[in-house]
Amino acid sequence: MGDTQRLKKLHILAEIGNTDAQHELGATYFNGILVKKDISESIKWFRKAAEKGQADCQYALAVMYHVGKEVTKDTKEAFKWYQMAAESGHADAQYSLGVRYLAGEEVKINTKEAIKWISKAADQGLDVAQKFLQGDF
């Protein structure tokens, strides 16, 4: 299948609500693969999938809003997406959410909640979370 056909197929699947296609299309626009880089189009597709529970898209939105490189930095919006992705089982989001609780970013500092989320990430094998819990950070 050629690139143009693949892109058309992704659009069709994304339009009918396929979250994997929405994720891939969001990444395609974010990275400028097969298309001109378009952050607003990327966010559109990530958001559609994220709102349906697609954890990778929830995490992608969290990072985008947290870093503020491609979008206006919005820590409140980032926290919302970190939390949704963490609740969906995304290990990186679980760790990041734990760090937010430790830092008091958009939430009161809560060590118990921080350890809960970092432990969930460590239980999934996330190296940085495991090292953090071992005091090696």
CATH architecture of 55-137: Alpha Horseshoe (1.25)
Chunked in runs of 10, what are the mean pLDDT values of the chain (137 residues)? 86 97 96 92 97 97 93 95 98 97 94 97 97 87
Domain ranges of the chain: 1-52, 55-137
Instruction: Output the pLDDT for position 4.
Output: 86
Alpha carbon distance 87, 76 (integer Å): 17
Of 64, 48, 68, 125, residue with least CA distance to 94: 125
Instruction: Output the pLDDT for position 119.
Output: 98
Quickly list DSSP for 72-93: ---HHHHHHHHHHHHHTT-HHH
* pTM attached to this predicted model: 0.90
